Structure 1
Amino acid sequence: MPLSSRQSTLLLFSVFVIAICGLIYELIIGTLSSYLFGNSVVYFSLTIGLFMSAMGVGSYASRWITRSLLGWFILLEIAIGLAGGVSAALLYAVFATTPYYHIAMVLLTFLVGGMVGMEIPILTRLSSSSEESIKDALANVLAFDYLGALIASVLFPLLLLPELGVLKTAFVTGLLNMAVVFLNLHTFRDRLRQWRQLLGVSVTVTLLLLAGTAWSFQLTSFFEMQLYEDAIIYTQQTRYQRIVMTRWGEDVRLFLDGNLQFSTRDEYRYHEPLVHPALSLTRSRESILILGGGDGLAVREILKYEDVQPIELVDIDPAMTELANSHPVILAANEGALMDPRVELVHQDAFKYLEEGAEQFGVIIIDLPDPNNESLGKLYTREFYKMVRRHLAGGGVVAVQATSPYFARETFWCIVHTAADAGFQTWPYHTYIPSFGDWGFFLATAHPIEPEAFTVQVPMRYLTPEVLAGSFIFDSDTSEVETKINTLDSQVVLRYYEKGWKQWGD
């Protein structure tokens, strides 16, 4: 019996929704893997490659489905809704409790991709059983499939991820699959021999996904508690990153995408060496630029100098600066620094800010997260430092956090060498921070300076001229090594970073 116009339209709508859900599952797996391991290019490439090849295998396998096409389609849609809906929770659980995350990721990606690949040929054959020819049916199915993928690629980063988070997005997407199932069960009830059985399974899966959606926050908290040593007191998924705060006694720590940013117990041992050498050695403190540092802790140190104004802070994530201005723990730590009238907040990518602006500054503080993905890696390239040099006023000084010369030795020296290749004179130094270990920085200028001329001009808890003088001395296992230059084209710093931290089990 040929399909009615209404039934054919529903099948095309199903293709549209399936495409949305399929791409969202890809993005969920890639995003979660990048969040847990860094190196987004590797994990997104692997996820997309596996998913597409699995679709090919599924499409080929569909040739052996010759009967009960509607029943098979609905059964596959139920299975996709279940597997995709629980995908994030399952991967989180595997990561938190076993060493087999990558095996689970590959199997889950291949499973969901294979089932999506089987559905497309089945839907094409169902559509061609109406008055449409196979040519028209294939054209319509592929058109709606590609349109759905476009919608998903916009919805996921702009709405779903920042508003729902990874786990809830997966569960909600699974429910979207189940909505397609129920629509088709209703429309094709008279054509399905196993209608009652399919309805029963659909209701069961839907209830499971609804429970997951309702408890997604608790599930996320539970899994994250397995990843962090201390009690979690705050979490937020923003458009750009996941923010987590933990507490153990008086020690509160802030993590971005799983990477420690500061501990309230010893952050002064990080921010004093980052800020004060540059402010002491510059010819002018009249205008200061901070790239990163949305927590306001570097600004707190800068505001100790009465002759400082203005301060421009560029941080891509408004949620981070809002948190720094509202959360009592961070607000107490930064002493309300971001509310000072001398501070101007700019929420923009640091690379884009330097590219578009023309203003020069007497001091530039670069307090960015470590280069563990391509978006951050570009902020450690030769091209980036050339733009920094263009924004540095005569006699000005740049100070850069550059990860650990002990844990990631090649990374540290690659960053220093890259800045030097961009035309800077560089002075690398390091210090011990209990929560971080041995941590590295460097000063960069367009003119010679004498670091020993550093003087203490404001109250400090840690840094002294003697401490700073010793910080320019590197031990045998942290001393300079030969590296390549990090560029936008190569981003070798990512490989150095992954290699360095991998040997320490991070």
Structure 2
Amino acid sequence: MQFVKFKVSFLYSYVCITGASVMALELAASRFLAPYYGTSMIVWANIIGLILLSLSLGYWIGGRWADRRPDGKLLMLISLAAGVFTSLLPLWGKLIFPLLSNGILDTSLWIILCSFFAILIVFAPPVFLLAMVSPFAIRLVSASEEQIGKTAGNLYAFSTLGSIIGTFGTAFGTIPFLGTRETIFLWSAALIAISSLGLRKSKWKWSALFLLLPVLLYLIPYDTFKQVEGKPVVWSKDTLYQFVRVTQTADGQTSLIYNEGGGVQSMRRPNDALNKNDYYDDYLMLPFLMEKPEQVLVLGSAGGTIPRLLAKYVKPIYPGLHTTGVEIDPEVIKLDSRFFGLQPEDAKLVNQDARVFLDNTEERYDIVIVDCYSQQIYIPFHLSTVEFFQTIENHLNPSGLLALNVNAVSTDSRLLQSMEKTLHQAFPFSYVVRARGDYNYILLGSLTPLKLDKLKAIEADHPLAGIRDEWPKQLTSLTPEQFANGQLLTDNRAPTEMLTDSMIFSAAGAR
């Protein structure tokens, strides 16, 4: 039997493209899952672990097949199949993800687990097939090349070069500028194209027709995110940090939603109205706990809800109030004035990571509000530690205070108790407020005791009077007994993602 062989120069280009495709698939898998499961360490561990397992099996079986049948045509058919599998991934996701239409917080545990592993398993076949490329390519040149070591090294070098291109090109190019689906279709088309080029002299020369598959699948309407809980999506984009959408109802209520919608990051109600379900409103009490507040820092300003509400309801009483908002996602900052009514005079906005900003500023503040969430409902671990809270303490004026929101299903939540324990370690006076909303608890840290009698500065006919009356009932001082089961979070060990996931799974399992 006569086997098809290729020029080494063609194989260099071929392994470069297949190597790039593997990394593109890995990154695309993370973004594909992120809208529903986030990108916690657990999610990444599952993605990387399954991909490594697929690669290991692919290397092993690919080497055995290459020895039995060192045929270039077979190699091209393998990568062609990988390209076809890859192009089907968005279609499969469209079938699976509607099962999570209620969000990860309101979906039963078995659906979460089954759909999660179903999607992971779908990514395994193309990665398994692509892993077969390297041993196959080396076997194809081993019979005709005297310097097999050099050639094998070159093949691995070009494959690794492709992986670098796939990594940076996907992370900083195709996903933020085109989208996750488009990235998957682009690399599936590249795999089909290079495979068809290798098959052009065989009876499989018609395989180029498979290029129509990603094109046709791309043209199929993908309307999964046209609405969120019945609210029309007026803007959406895959940014460098998350999948972002803006929804708007007929009466003008606007919401900023990251990923699958498990948590609304910002909201603007018609006329910036207050609402008993909005924990943002509780932050408006903070300026009234001190004599003459001037500098407010909002870490994680998102759509600018907190700065906007401060400007409307507090600044008329304290004209000297100045707000600085820090937001890590530049695309989100652009939405503040466009959809959420934030005006230039309301706040100064800074595009930076919250902790990096604190480490590089010498400003001191009367109030620091931490409202940072990554991938729907996760508090970034580096913004939950004793060291972080101590950094904030160093940037507070003597009578200043820190406030942060924690999503928790109950006061027994180990996540909430760990945050309480950590805050109490950094601040001599610490408190918890059962805030508005279903799962919201606001933790307060201060260098001096809080005096709620200062809330009397809010007059009875003021819109904030209702919240003023709620606070004495909702605020309690933290004591060691309240967070006895909590874990002290440090820069060295802060498993906030694990604590959040275990809380969610426990709540879902109880349904």
TM-score, length of structure 1 as denominator length: 0.86
Determine if the alignment matches structure 1 residue 382 to structure 2 residue 390.
Answer: no
- Tell me what 2:205 maps to: 199
Q: Deviations over 1:422-456 (max 9, x none)?
A: 235211101333xxx14211221112222343234
Shift of 1:170: 0.7
What is the aligned partner in structure 2 of residue 276 from structure 1? Answer: 284
**Distance in structure 2 (CA, Å) of the matches to 1:428 and 1:295:** 25
Give % identity.
18
Partner of 2:107: none
SS of corresponding position for 1:369: coil
Specify the alignment match of 1:314 in structure 2.
Answer: 326
* Correspondence for 2:180: 166
Question: Is the alpha carbon distance of 1:51 and 1:462 closer, same or farther for their aligned partners in structure 2, counting shifts above 3 Å?
Answer: farther
Question: AA paired with 2:431?
Answer: W
The farther-off stretch of 148-157 and 369-378 is: 369-378
Shift of 1:276: 2.4
Residue 210 of structure 1 corresponds to 215
Matching residue within 153, 157, 161 for 1:143: 157
The residue that corresponds to 2:106 in the other structure is: none
Distance in 1 between the 2:122 and 2:141 partners? Answer: 29
Q: Secondary structure at the match of 1:357?
A: coil
Pick one of 70, 82, 85 that aligns with 2:84.
82
User: Quick one: distance in 2 between partners of 1:310 and 1:60?
Assistant: 63
**Aligned residue in 2 for 1:343:** 347
Deviation by residue 1:86-141 (Cα, 9 ceiling, x = unmatched): 32442342132483323323422331221112111111122334435321221111
Does the Cα contact within 8 Å between 1:406 and 1:438 map onto a contact in 2? yes
2:475 maps to 472
- Report deviation, 1:409: 2.8
Could you tell me how far apart the structure 2 residues matched to 1:369 and 1:105 are? 25
Q: How far apart are 1:8 and its partner, in Å?
A: 1.3
Name the residue aligned to 1:31. 31
Counterpart AA for 1:324:
D
**CA separation in 2, counterparts of 1:394 and 1:70?**
74
Cα separation, partners in 2 of 1:36 and 1:371, compared to 1, 3 Å: closer
SS of 2:7's equivalent in the other structure is helix
> Partners in 2 of 1:498 and 1:349 — Cα distance?
24
Contact 1:383 1:488 in 2 (8 A): yes
Assess if the C-alpha contact under 8 Å between 1:407 and 1:501 holds in 2.
Answer: no
- Asked whether the 8 Å contact 2:430–2:444 carries over to 1, the reply is yes
Distance 2:99 2:469 in 1: 46
> Which residues of 2 match residues 104-183 of structure 1 at below 5 A?
104-183=118-197
Matched with 1:368 is 372
Return 102-111 or 283-292, whichever deviates more.
102-111
**2:74 aligned partner, one-letter code:** W
Report the CA distance between 1:505 and its aligned residue.
3.4
Give 3-state SS (helix, strand or coil) of 2:246's partner. strand
Instruction: Report if aligned partners of 1:360, 1:393 keep a CA contact under 8 Å in 2.
Output: yes
Which residue identity is paired with 2:31?
T
Residue type of the partner of 1:154? F
In 1, Cα distance between equivalents of 2:465 and 2:406: 20
Q: Hey, what's the Cα distance between the residues in 2 that align with 1:418 and 1:371? A: 22
Q: CA deviation digits over 1:55-83, x for unaligned, max 9?
A: 22122212134336211111111111111
Alignment CA distance shift 1:71-1:227 (3 Å)? farther
Pair 316,382 (structure 1): closer, same or farther in 2 beyond 3 Å: same
Query: Hey, what does 2:337 align to over in structure 1?
Result: 325
- Structure 1 residue 172 displacement after superposition: 1.0
Describe the SS at the equivalent of 1:20.
Answer: helix
The one-letter code matched in structure 1 to 2:54 is: A
After superposition, residues 40-79 of structure 1 pair within 5 angstroms as 40-62=40-62, 63-65=64-66, 66-67=68-69, 69-79=71-81
Residue 289 (structure 1) aligns with: 297
Unaligned stretches of 5+ residues in structure 1: 190-194
**Alignment correspondent of 1:192:** none
Q: Read off the aligned partner of 2:429 and give its amino acid letter.
A: Q
SS in 2 for 1:314: strand
- Determine if contact 2:419/2:489 at 8 Å carries over to the other structure: yes
Structure 1 residue 326, shift from structure 2 partner: 1.1
C-alpha distance in structure 1 between counterparts of 2:465 and 2:264, whole Å: 21
What amino acid sits opposite 2:264 in the alignment?
L
SS in 1 for 2:456: coil
- Matched residues in 1 for 2:475 and 2:404: separation? 14
Give how far 1:235 is off: 1.6
Structure 2 match to 1:358: 362
1:443-482 to 2 correspondences below 5 Å:
443-457=444-458, 459-460=462-463, 463-472=466-475, 482=485
Do the aligned partners of 1:283 and 1:396 also contact (CA within 8 Å) in 2? Answer: no
Q: What is the aligned counterpart of 1:502 among 468, 492, 505?
A: 505
Higher relative contact order (CA 8 A, sep 6+): 2
The answer to which of 36-45 and 400-409 deviates more is 400-409
Distance 2:492 2:93 in 1: 32
d(CA) in 1 for partners of 2:435 and 2:321? 28
Give me the whole-angstrom Cα distance separating, in 1, the residues matched to 2:238 and 2:454. 44
**Matched residue type, 2:22:** G
1:427 corresponds to 2:435: no
C-alpha change, 1:424 and 1:356, in structure 2 (3 Å) is farther
Is the 2:295–2:365 contact (alpha carbons within 8 Å) kept by the matching residues of 1? yes
| Aligned partners of 2:299 and 2:370 also within 8 Å | yes
If the length of structure 2 is used for normalisation, what is the TM-score? 0.85
Q: Shift of the alpha carbon at 1:365?
A: 1.6
Q: Which amino acid aligns with 1:308?
A: G
How many residues are treated as equivalent by the alignment?
A: 478
* Alpha-carbon contact 1:281-1:453 (below 8 Å) kept: yes
Q: Which has the higher helix share?
A: 1
Q: State the alpha-carbon separation in 2 of the partners of residues 77 and 173 from structure 1.
A: 12
Q: CA deviation at 1:225?
A: 5.2
Q: Which amino acid aligns with 2:361?
A: G
Q: 1:295 to 1:267 in 2, by over 3 A?
A: farther
User: Structure 1: which amino acid aligns with 2:443?
Assistant: F
The Cα shift of 1:15 comes to 0.5
How many angstroms apart in 2 are the aligned matches of 1:414 and 1:57?
A: 41
